[in-house]
Chain A
Amino acid sequence: AQSVSQHNHHVILSEAASLELGCNYSYGGTVNLFWYVQYPGQHLQLLLKYFSGDPLVKGIKGFEAEFIKSKFSFNLRKPSVQWSDTAEYFCAAHPGFQKLVFGTGTRLLVSP
């Protein structure tokens, strides 16, 4: 079955630490990939997306993600996290038809 896997369910970091959240997908064909973030009490927001082209994608708030086709991965990174990055992060894939498939989410807690 088509799926998206996020390896880390909970991550705790100190401010200024570097972040990498793993995401793998199981589709063999063309796939569009996304990272969404949900801050406490807010709606899901798009952080960044990959459709084609440069596999290193830059998003909002200093986040970036790298699409590695050979590894079926789309990991999210940020060089230095802030307390305000505390949120839940969702990787999602869009395999060509009009519904997103999400991973289970990763809760990030950044301690000041």
Chain B
Amino acid sequence: EAGVTQFPSHSVIEKGQTVTLRCDPISGHDNLYWYRRVMGKEIKFLLHFVKESKQDESGMPNNRFLAERTGGTYSTLKVQPAELEDSGVYFCASSQDPFTEGALGYGYTFGSGTRLTVV
């Protein structure tokens, strides 16, 4: 079973540029989450999709961040324009049901993250 895939693994961009991060969840997982870890801080929730709908976007820092999940499959997170404080590691996770152990695996499965550096 393929895991959660994130692309790119690393991105270095200049302040003011645009970056798009992509997450491919495990096939069959309706729930998709984005988290971010700023250097030295805790991993913080950004938003949660259920299929193509945004269930909870309370963690999105500001309107420079736009997340989409076309057709309920992969998701993109666009930062436009990027600022220095956006640097960090962006994690994606997917789950079928985080409270159920089943054939698709337990709880959340995380990707390896995208390390974004804004210079």
A residues at B contact (CB < 8 Å): 4, 32, 34, 36, 41-46, 49, 51, 90, 92, 94, 97-105
Contact = CB atoms under 8 A, between A and B. Distances in A.
Given A44-B110, A49-B107, A94-B98, A102 B4 contact: no
A94 B110 CA distance: 15
B8 interface: no
Given A44-B91, A46-B107, A51-B99, A102 B112 contact: no
Given A4-B42, A43-B4, A90-B43, A99 B59 contact: yes
B31 to A, nearest CB: 7
A104 B55 contact: no
A32 B99 contact: yes
B48 A99 contact: yes
Among B41, B43, B107, max chain A CB count under 10 A is at B43
- Chain B contact-residue range equals 20 to 34
A43 B48 contact: no
Contacts, number: 53
Nearest to B9: A41
B42 A104 contact: yes
B110 A98 contact: no
19 contacts: A32-B99, A34-B107, A36-B110, A43-B3, A43-B4, A44-B110, A92-B43, A97-B56, A98-B31, A98-B33, A98-B48, A98-B56, A98-B98, A99-B33, A99-B59, A101-B45, A102-B35, A102-B43, A105-B43
A47 to B, nearest CB: 12
Q: Which of B3, B106, B108, B113 has the most CB of A within 10 A?
A: B108
Interface string B90-111: 0101000011000000111011
Contacts of A42: 112
Contacts of B106: 46, 49
B44 interface: yes
Contacts of A102: 35, 42-44
Contacts of B31: 98
Among A92, A97, A102, A105, the most chain B Cβ lie within 10 Å of the Cβ of A102
